Amino acid sequence: MNTQRVLVTGAAGFIGFHLTQRLIAAGYEVAGLDNLNDYYEVTLKEARLAILKQLAGFSFHKINLEDKPAIDSLFNSGKFDYVVNLAAQAGVRYSIQNPYAYLDSNLTGFLNVLEACRNNPVKHLVYASSSSVYGANRKMPFSVHDNVDHPLALYAVSKKTNELMAHAYSNLYNIPATGLRFFTVYGPYGRPDMALFIFTKAILEGRAIDVFNNGKMQRDFTYVDDIVEGIVRLIPHVAKKNPSWNGEHPDPATSFAPYKIYNIGNNNPVELLRFIEVLEEKLGKKAVKNFLPLQDGDVPATFANIDDLMQDVGFKPATTIETGIGNFVNWYKNYYKIK
């Protein structure tokens, strides 16, 4: 049997870690790339990586996406069938304070991946975008077929730019490319800069939590296993040209080139206060809440239209926040040895 090889960039990251485990279980060989940067606690990335290194069929490469010679060398020797690009500088808040970090990783790094795919053709490039690209859009649920031209922070700009770069390479070099707009991903081994992690830590330590937009924020919280299932189904579902694409009425989600955009979200927005309520139930402890206005760069609500995902690969995320938050709390207490 000819085992298919997948390169997962950001393999020691939150989604990359879960995806790699799932791909190995499905019989793929996985080459994981990560630079283990210190944007958040490196020990958590190392803990994820230690689990992955025990899996047969996994190899690890500590490389910066911006290091073009190293990326080229990896692609030349790797002979990858598929590439899933998850490595990126994450975080809306951080992009306001450290804008230049986003140019290096999210633009230069992604360009290196595209160039490597051009010179070492792959069956399919799948890459992470973000629900943040919807920016000032207010038509709900957010549809991949609507324009997204009013971003609210540089992080969103970098993700929208990735989509545009992928389209250019799909057009010029016939690289099948699929962009995935993730909606507020959470779950075990999650990122410490995300609300669920921050809230859990603060509540257990008896500290107040900052509740922005006075808790009226709505998010399409999506459990990590659902995100991973969507990715795994889409990897072999290679992006194709849309024969009915029309430049007079351009569809942003498809193209005359082999290019596609999907939302992967729970399709069920939850108010932040309800999210906190469930967390309190699972922790068995009340939160001290510090109510604040909406932050710069944040959107008041997100809600994913996932019709295309359901139609093309027959999948709809369905994990409830009660189940998902419960799983996270169990992991957190176990990982940090909290009784």
Instruction: Name which of 169, 186, 187 is nearest 178 in CA terms.
Output: 169
What is the separation, in whole angstroms, between the first and last Cα of the chain? 47
Question: Under 8 Å CB-to-CB from 246, ≥6 apart: which residues?
Answer: none
Q: Does residue 63 have a pLDDT over 80?
A: yes
C-alpha–C-alpha distance, residues 186 and 227, integer Å: 10
Active site residue 155: yes
What letter does residue 248 receive in the DSSP assignment? T
Instruction: Dump pLDDT digits (tens) for 79-114.
Output: 999 999 999 877 666 677 778 878 888 899 999 999
Stretch 299-321: mean pLDDT: 94
Average pLDDT, the chain: 94
Look at residue 311 in the predicted model and tell me its pLDDT: 97
Catalytic-labelled residue, pool 155, 186, 223, 259:
155
Q: Does residue 1 have a pLDDT over 70?
A: no
Within the chain, how many helices (H) and strands (E) appear? 12, 13
Q: What letters, b where the CB count within 10 A reaches 16 and e where it falls short, cover 62-100?
A: ebbbbeeebbeebbeebebbbbbbbbbbbbbebbeeeee
How far lies 264's CA from each of 176, 232, 308, in Å?
Answer: 19, 12, 10
Q: Does residue 231 have a pLDDT over 80?
A: yes
Look at residue 89 in the predicted model and tell me its pLDDT: 74
Share of the chain above pLDDT 70, in %: 98
pTM above 0.85, yes or no: yes
Q: How confident is the model at residue 19 (pLDDT cuts 50, 70, 90)?
A: very high
Between CA 210 and CA 220, with CA 216 as vertex, the angle to 5 degrees is 95
Q: How confident is the model at residue 2 (pLDDT cuts 50, 70, 90)?
A: low
Of residues 207 and 296, more confidently modeled: 207
Q: Does residue 28 have a pLDDT over 80?
A: yes
Q: What letters, b where the CB count within 10 A reaches 16 and e where it falls short, cover 301-312?
A: bbbbbbbbbeee
Stretch 239-244: mean pLDDT: 98
Return phi, psi of residue 269, to 5°.
-60, 140
- Residue 312 CA, distance from chain mean position: 20
Stretch 147-166: mean pLDDT: 94
Q: Does residue 337 have a pLDDT over 70?
A: yes
Look at residue 102 in the predicted model and tell me its pLDDT: 81
Q: Does residue 329 have a pLDDT over 60?
A: yes
Look at residue 302 in the predicted model and tell me its pLDDT: 92
Stretch 128-140: mean pLDDT: 94
